[in-house]
Structure 1
């Protein structure tokens, strides 16, 4: 056994760092955190970077600089979890024991989930803001396009902030309109859902924005294949398969839990996505009471987004603190989710909803289905500062 920690956290993204920081504020003394990456990203800024409204330097920090004080950083990758032995096995074969385990490694991007997609990402006309190496490429493609066809796709199934697939489409159209070339660009937005998003009130405003930009909306449709050499995509929709030529393709790939997590005992039987089987409100594993999960890798029915995660961190930290003190967990997550839709490069619509996509506004007296300039300032300017200086320090 290489080491043992009272609390071991797997994952050094938003979930792992903010939870570890909050646990330290709760005086939990022995915390280890497993994370192989050396760069930490604030991913919500990637959409703004792809639209030329932010710089990549604003969205990244050295991992060492965001690691909470007093938390041991275990710089490695997880290969397996042995919950019956209270052991995590790392890729180098070393073993780390734990008293309580929190599993929050995020999602993996399944580029091979669509035929031809993995190969297409290296082509000059295909991009994705979901890859940290590509938001600047997205902006270069948006900036240079003056005529032709632009296709934006959203994947079926669980995805981190799935609405980000639409954000870049709206901001790109706003830029093209500013440049007086939108009329010469055919824009196609592909979503797997029956409506543009699924939240009452929000759909009406998004439909109006789609009509304003002249976007061709394909609902109930998914990306079935990419041929980068021919610059065509295959779209599978209600009427069958459609082949469409493109000059710019922005893709959000299918997503799932990491492969190593799928092969452990933690997902529920039959869960092909490989997500950790937890009580969706307590965030505690249903079969292993000293295992917890939150964020994108947890099998919770809410939208996978930073706003949901912030609520989950507070719940899980208090519940874990209670268990460490010898009492039962009492805090419950309320299934809150949020998606800030950037409808232009200067306005944002905050869509807040529960796990059944029913409106769940923070301020019920404020019309939630409205785009606002101040909301853009909050999303673009203020939230990044809150993230770096409060959320990652366990204070928000």
Structure 2
């Protein structure tokens, strides 16, 4: 419609008008700028384990739509299940749910991607140029898988029915089980990259599962199993590392330390490793089956926000509070934070009540009192019926829940990992009702009759 404005006689084209009275016309702008803004009390960026759990807890305490969560994916994966999928114990369809089914109803989901942070203005910008203003920001963006950082790896993983696998992505996780069933003989090589890794026990869990599969199907005598890790140790917590050295020795698994996968030559079935103690030295190994763990990093959009991150690209927080060192209204949770804990779902679970209480303390003008001690857990599955449950803190000392020696392989811990933990995850943790095992630990250790000495 064309309206002749009385003042100046200008002709202007408007899409919509609303009449309030005979003398007032309010024009509703059609510009993207006005329609592309949001505001909330607490903004959660990232819909992984920590982000969803924290959003649920916050939604229990705050009115509807005061919590917003930005996450582009429409599926949420229970990633700790991927090792079991790689060994044929679970299937991929059981590892995910639609995001809209698991997010709290009182929180508003914005299915977009944050591409820019403006912490000085309390604003983030999404891929549609939407500006979201917040009072408090919680960053929960997880880790980025960088398969492309290893020359030849993406090409190898794209070969149909190929012999290069990786359990770290839902895109590739089924390849390991498929390749394992077809495998007959030769060298099987497993890697651990020279970078931060989410669930750092997973690269060797799949080693133990694979090795047991070979024995069960009479293929072990025709194969060698080698674990090539960039780390100087088999596991970072000594009591559990000692137990794992016994496992690999008993099962004739070769472990080589300080070697990093730097290239894959799929046309030759060759993996190239760099010696991290002698950077000019490279080792080429022929494989019949190669399981590759990609290098990982903080998401690019986060790493580029230099005001928020440290030199490695991770959110620069105080380890005990998960609060940003510069911006008091910003927190991080899970794998994207610079806190020196092991990057596991259990760590995110332990961080969640601390972070949520601190966010509520800021809202209510109170002091931050709770402390995160670095707790993390890694159920080290060592086959189709055994598991070592590693639990530890910032000091890399065991912090165990059960009143028995958790360094031993146990069937009970395997069942807990395989069947109980997924139920706990979907029905308690993501709904904001799980604070980690502290309460259970305090009750059970009454029966331990003294402190365990490892």
Q: In the TM superposition, what whole-angstrom CA distance separates every residue of 1:347-368 from its partner, at most 9, and x where no partner exists?
A: 11011122342222234x4212
Deviates more, 1:45-54 or 1:217-226: 217-226
Output the CA distance in 2 between the equivalents of 1:330 and 1:80.
31
Match of 2:139 among 103, 116, 125: 103
Match of 2:188 among 144, 150, 173: 150
Q: In the TM superposition, what whole-angstrom CA distance separates every residue of 1:218-270 from its partner, at most 9, and x where no partner exists?
A: 1121112111111101112346321001111111111110101111134445x
| TM-score normalised according to structure 2 size | 0.84
Match of residue 97 from structure 2: 61
Q: What SS does structure 2 have at the residue aligned with 1:5?
A: strand
Output the CA distance in 1 between the equivalents of 2:128 and 2:225.
47
Deviation at 1:28, TM superposition (A): 5.2
Output the CA distance in 1 between the equivalents of 2:266 and 2:395.
37
- Determine whether 1:183 maps to 2:218: no
Q: In the TM superposition, what whole-angstrom CA distance separates every residue of 1:264-307 from its partner, at most 9, and x where no partner exists?
A: 134445x1x31011111111111111111010000100000011
- Determine whether 1:232 maps to 2:270: yes
Match of 2:300 among 236, 259, 262: 259
Larger RCO, structure (CA 8 Å, separation 6 or more)? 1
Output the CA distance in 2 between the equivalents of 1:28 and 1:282.
25
Deviation at 1:334, TM superposition (A): 0.5
Gaps of 5+ in 1: none
Q: In the TM superposition, what whole-angstrom CA distance separates every residue of 1:94-136 from its partner, at most 9, and x where no partner exists?
A: 1111010000111101112222222222131111111112221
Rg larger in structure: 2
Deviation at 1:316, TM superposition (A): 0.3
Contact 1:347–1:371 (CA<8 Å) still a contact in 2? yes
**Number of residues paired by the alignment?**
393
Output the CA distance in 2 between the equivalents of 1:329 and 1:266.
23
User: Mapping of 1:372-383 within 5 angstroms?
Assistant: 372-383=410-421
User: Mapping of 1:295-306 within 5 angstroms?
Assistant: 295-306=334-345
Match of 1:336 among 375, 381, 392: 375
| TM-score normalised according to structure 1 size | 0.96
Contact 2:157–2:172 (CA<8 Å) still a contact in 1? no
Match of residue 24 from structure 1: 59
Output the CA distance in 2 between the equivalents of 1:5 and 1:102.
12
Gaps of 5+ in 2: 1-35, 435-454
Output the CA distance in 1 between the equivalents of 2:359 and 2:89.
39
Q: In the TM superposition, what whole-angstrom CA distance separates every residue of 1:17-50 from its partner, at most 9, and x where no partner exists?
A: 1000011122354000000000110000000010
Match of 2:110 among 50, 57, 74: 74
Contact 2:387–2:414 (CA<8 Å) still a contact in 1? yes
Contact 1:83–1:265 (CA<8 Å) still a contact in 2? no
